[in-house]
């Protein structure tokens, strides 16, 4: 069976200089996943979230999937000044596969939206190739590689939703986008402290509830096979919800 995975990476790419700190150095965009979970969840410092979506030609995310992601965020984040998305098409990367360092360099060369004032900035990059660790039997669909940054292997997602027997594209997209943002929000045990022990010790930073959005099986080929018809996108279980709420979320 083909394993279609999404992933969080506990170590930021090997960039020794932070290229994303504003002039006053008040916010560091070059930390590991989950390091800014509270800032995303709470409103005590940042009341607004703007997510920059940069995509390569032919790999723009579907409007339905982004709508699902926005609803997911509005239900979990305390951002009274709103949550919005800005879109920019960027030049093709020209690679069949990308490493984390490749991805980081693309972000550094193209990202324009940064945290300032009461606005918190997130970043999603949609790529025209796969991940360097892909194999014939295992494909990575997304990776959370910095505290505000997510890369989506949109070409791989499209290849898994191209046939009539495949799940609808927006459903798989939304599942991956929400899962990856869960890692940005510090799930599981990676920035949002657990209120109840529910980390799967065999699959770190994932929930031990097999029905939860943050379970490792969401990253497997099994979830692709389950996303048909009226089957809903997986949701966060109560333990994950409790973690987010305790860290400033709804």
What does the pLDDT look like over 76-124, one tens digit per residue?
999 999 999 999 999 999 999 999 999 999 999 999 999 999 999 999 9
Give the per-residue pLDDT at 25.
Answer: 61
Structural domains counted in the chain: 1
Structural domain span for residue 126: 28-246
Q: Between residues 2 and 11, which one has the greater pLDDT?
A: 11
For residue 1, is it within any domain?
no
What is the average pLDDT score of the chain?
89
Assess contact for 100 and 112: CB atoms under 8 A.
Answer: no
The token duo for 146 is 């910095």
Which uninterrupted H or E stretch holds 123?
Answer: strand 119-126
Q: Alpha carbon of 26 to those of 11, 33, 51, 80, 144: distances in Å? A: 21, 18, 19, 21, 22
Q: Between residues 179 and 225, which one has the greater pLDDT?
A: 179
How far is it, in rounded angstroms, from Cα 175 to Cα 169?
A: 10
Q: Between residues 75 and 224, which one has the greater pLDDT?
A: 75
Predicted confidence (pLDDT) at residue 177 exceeds the cutoff of 80 = yes
DSSP string covering 40-51, please? HH-SSS--EEEE
How far is it, in rounded angstroms, from Cα 52 to Cα 54?
A: 6
Say if pTM beats, i.e. exceeds, 0.85: yes
For residue 222, is it within any domain?
yes
Which of 19-33, 34-48, 165-179 is predicted with the least confidence, judged by mean pLDDT?
A: 19-33
Q: Alpha carbon of 40 to those of 12, 128, 172, 200, 208: distances in Å? A: 18, 28, 24, 24, 24
Assess contact for 13 and 103: CB atoms under 8 A.
Answer: yes
Q: Between residues 203 and 246, which one has the greater pLDDT?
A: 246
How far is it, in rounded angstroms, from Cα 194 to Cα 121?
A: 25
Predicted confidence (pLDDT) at residue 243 exceeds the cutoff of 60 = yes
Cross-sheet strand order for the sheet of 119-126: 3-8, 138-144, 149-152, 119-126, 48-56, 83-90
User: What percent of the chain is predicted at pLDDT more than 70?
Assistant: 85
Predicted confidence (pLDDT) at residue 10 exceeds the cutoff of 90 = no
How far is it, in rounded angstroms, from Cα 10 to Cα 57?
A: 29
For residue 205, is it within any domain?
yes
For residue 78, is it within any domain?
yes
What value does the CA radius of gyration of the chain take, rounded to a whole number of Å? 17
Confidence of residue 166 (pLDDT cuts 50, 70, 90): confident
For residue 21, is it within any domain?
no
Residue 51's nearest CA partner among 168, 152, 134 is 152
Predicted confidence (pLDDT) at residue 230 exceeds the cutoff of 60 = no
Given CA atoms 200, 218, 52, 151 in this order, what sign does their dihedral have? positive
Confidence of residue 4 (pLDDT cuts 50, 70, 90): low
Give the per-residue pLDDT at 112.
Answer: 94
For residue 102, is it within any domain?
yes
How far is it, in rounded angstroms, from Cα 120 to Cα 45?
A: 9
Task: Give the CATH number, domain containing residue 84.
Answer: 3.40.390.10
For residue 101, is it within any domain?
yes
Assess contact for 6 and 142: CB atoms under 8 A.
Answer: yes
Burial bucket for residue 203 (CB in 10 Å: 0-12, 13-18, 19+):
middle
Give the per-residue pLDDT at 20.
Answer: 61
Confidence of residue 225 (pLDDT cuts 50, 70, 90): low
Partner residues linked to 19 by β-bridges: none
Could you tell me whether strands 119-126 and 97-98 are parallel, antiparallel, or unpaired per DSSP bridges? Answer: unpaired
For residue 18, is it within any domain?
no
């Amino acid at each position: 069976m083909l394993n279609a995975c999404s992933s969080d990476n506990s170590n930021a790419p090997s960039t020794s200089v932070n290229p994303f700190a504003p002039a006053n150095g008040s916010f560091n965009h070059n930390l590991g996943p989950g390091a800014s979970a509270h800032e995303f969840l709470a409103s005590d410092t940042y009341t607004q979230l703007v997510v920059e979506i940069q995509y390569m030609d032919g790999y723009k995310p579907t409007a339905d999937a982004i709508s699902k992601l926005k609803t997911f965020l509005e239900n979990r984040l305390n951002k009274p000044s709103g949550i919005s998305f800005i879109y920019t098409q960027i030049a093709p990367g020209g690679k069949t596969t990308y490493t984390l360092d490749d991805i980081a360099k693309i972000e550094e060369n193209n990202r324009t939206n940064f945290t300032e004032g009461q606005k918190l900035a997130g970043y999603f990059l949609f790529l025209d190739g796969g991940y360097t660790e892909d194999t014939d039997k295992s494909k990575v669909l997304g990776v959370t590689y910095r505290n505000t940054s997510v890369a989506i292997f949109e070409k791989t997602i499209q290849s898994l939703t191209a046939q009539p027997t495949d799940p609808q594209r927006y459903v798989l997209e939304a599942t991956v986008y929400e899962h990856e943002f869960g890692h940005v929000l510090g799930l599981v045990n990676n920035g949002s402290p657990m209120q109840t022990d529910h980390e799967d010790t065999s699959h770190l930073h994932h929930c031990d509830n097999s029905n939860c959005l943050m379970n490792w099986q969401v990253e497997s080929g099994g979830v692709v096979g389950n996303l048909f018809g009226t089957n809903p996108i997986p949701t966060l279980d109560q333990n994950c919800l409790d973690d987010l709420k305790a860290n400033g979320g709804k």
